[in-house]
Amino acid sequence: MAGATSVTITVDSSGTGSASITGTATMSGTSHTGGPSTQSWILANGEPTVACTQVTGTVIATNKGASSSDGVGSYIVQTTVAGNFQLSYDATNYFIVQGTTVAPGTFETALSVGDTINWTKGPCATATPNTANEIHNMTSNVP
């Protein structure tokens, strides 16, 4: 790949794991090695799609995207009964941090590994508010 400055490596895995990757490039007859770099991944269920479904667990990973305060990203919660779930969030969702309704960016800024989240797929007649498409309720915040 003459002139290439990056390469994409795809690892297709059905479980939690990690891989160590070392790369070597040859330029003008000279070998250049980079790495190793270890990448890890977590097996997680997708976001539930049935209204009123709740997922409660501890945050074990976060991906805050392009900004840590724009209110757009995802996180993975580990539950005690159904495994891990990857849950996404954006400005159209409803956010609560320890009993207080907050803006999407405030939730994202507070979000960290170790937090406890109670997520509800809406709209759900028994949820508050019952018209929200998703409720991200952080009941315990680990600074």
Q: How does pLDDT run along the chain (143 residues), one tens digit per residue?
A: 455 566 666 666 656 666 777 777 777 778 777 777 777 778 889 999 999 999 999 999 999 988 999 999 999 999 988 899 999 999 999 999 999 999 999 999 999 999 999 999 999 999 999 999 999 999 999 97
Q: Residue 81: what pLDDT?
A: 84
5 part of a folded domain: no
124 part of a folded domain: yes
Cα–Cα nearest to 109, from 48, 76, 64, 74: 64
Residue 55 has which token pair? 């997922």
pTM above 0.85, yes or no: no
What is the C-alpha separation between 62 and 94, in angstroms, rounded? Answer: 18
Q: How many domains does the chain have?
A: 1
14 part of a folded domain: no
26 part of a folded domain: no
42 part of a folded domain: no
* Domain membership of residue 63 as a residue range: 54-140
8 part of a folded domain: no
Q: Is 33 exposed, middle or buried (0-12, 13-18, 19+ CB in 10 A)?
A: exposed
